Amino acid sequence: MSTYDLALKRRSIRRFKNIPIPYEILERCVNAARLTPSGANLQPLEYVIIDDEQLLPEIFSMIRWAGYIRPAGNPPAGHQPMAYIVGLIKKGTKYEASSYFEAGLAAENIILVALEEGVGSCRVSTHDNDRLRELLNIPEDYNIMLTLALGYPDESPIVEEYKGSVKYWKDEDNVLHVPKRELKEILHRNKF
Ligand SMILES: Cc1cc2nc3c(=O)[nH]c(=O)nc-3n(C[C@H](O)[C@H](O)[C@H](O)COP(=O)(O)O)c2cc1C
C-alpha cells in the first residue's frame, strides 16, 4: 500500500486481536523512528518496546481510553494491546522545547510502518508516569514523551464528515465513527 493510502487508512485502534506481534516488527517500527527528521540531528529519542505479558496489563491499567465515549472505548478483556512502544528524551537535551515535535514525527513513522505490517496502534496518554517509570526502570533523567499501544486490529473505525463536532461516537453495532474536517476547510493556497 502506498504511504498516501496508509495515511488515509490509519485510524486509532482500541480493540485488538489476541495475537502476539513478532518482535522483529516492533523493532522495525523503532528502526523507522530512528531515522526521522531531528532538529540539529541530535536524535534525542530512545525507546522501550514492551511485549512481556506480565508487563502488558500493568501498562494497560495506566491508560485512559477514548475520552469522549468512556468507558465504551476501553479495550475489553482479550482485546487489549499486545505491545507498547514508549519514547524517551533525556532531560536537559538541547532544544528541549522541540521534544514533542521530535516525538510526534517518530510516532507517525512507527504508526505507519506498523500499519504496513497489519498492526494497528493508538497514541495514548498514561496517567501515572511515576509508576510507568518505576515499572520500566526508566532513569529519572529521562522524560516520557510518547506511549503507543499496538496490536492486530479487531475493529474498523469509519471516517465521517465533520458536522460541527469533533467527538467520535460508537453506533449500535459498536463501530467507531471519527469525524474529520474537510480538506477545503483546512487548506489555504498561497494566502489564508
Ligand atoms: C497527543 C495525542 C494524545 C492522545 N491520547 C489518547 C488517549 O489517551 N487515549 C486514547 O484512547 N486515544 C488517544 N489519542 C488518540 C485520539 O483520540 C485519536 O487520534 C483521535 O480521536 C482521532 O482518531 P484517529 O486517530 O482514528 O484519526 C491521542 C492522540 C494524540 C495525537
For the chain, give the mean pLDDT.
97
Nearest atom of ligand 1 to the alpha carbon of 13: 26
| Ligand 1, CB within 6 Å, residue ranges | 11-12, 14, 64-66, 73, 122-125, 157, 168, 178
pLDDT tens digit sequence for 110-119? 999 999 999 9
Longest CA–CA span in the chain (Å) reads 54
pLDDT, residue 127, reads: 87
33 CA to middle of ligand 1, Å? 19
The larger pLDDT score, comparing residue 1 to residue 4, is at 4
Average pLDDT, stretch 2-16?
A: 97
The C-alpha torsion from 61 through 67 and 70 to 76, rounded to 10°, is -40
User: Is 135 in contact with 86 (CB distance < 8 Å)?
Assistant: no
d(Cα 86, Cα 26) in Å, to the nearest integer? 11
Q: How confident is the model at residue 14 (pLDDT cuts 50, 70, 90)?
A: very high
Nearest atom of ligand 1 to the alpha carbon of 178: 23
Please give the CATH superfamily to which domain 3-156 belongs.
NADH Oxidase (3.40.109.10)
User: Is 178 in contact with 160 (CB distance < 8 Å)?
Assistant: yes
Q: Name the residue ranges covered by the structural domains of the chain.
A: 3-156, 160-192
DSSP labels, 128-175: -HHHHHHHTT--TTEEEEEEEEEE-BS---EEEE--S----EE-TT--
pLDDT, residue 95, reads: 87
Query: Which of 6, 12, 13, 165 is the pocket-test mutation for ligand 1 (most atoms within 8 Å of CB)?
Result: 12
- Grid look-up 510516532 returns 107
Average pLDDT, stretch 47-65?
A: 97
DSSP-based three-state secondary structure for 79: coil
pLDDT tens digit sequence for 86-116? 999 999 999 888 999 999 999 999 999 999 9
- Does position 61 have pLDDT exceeding 90, yes or no? yes
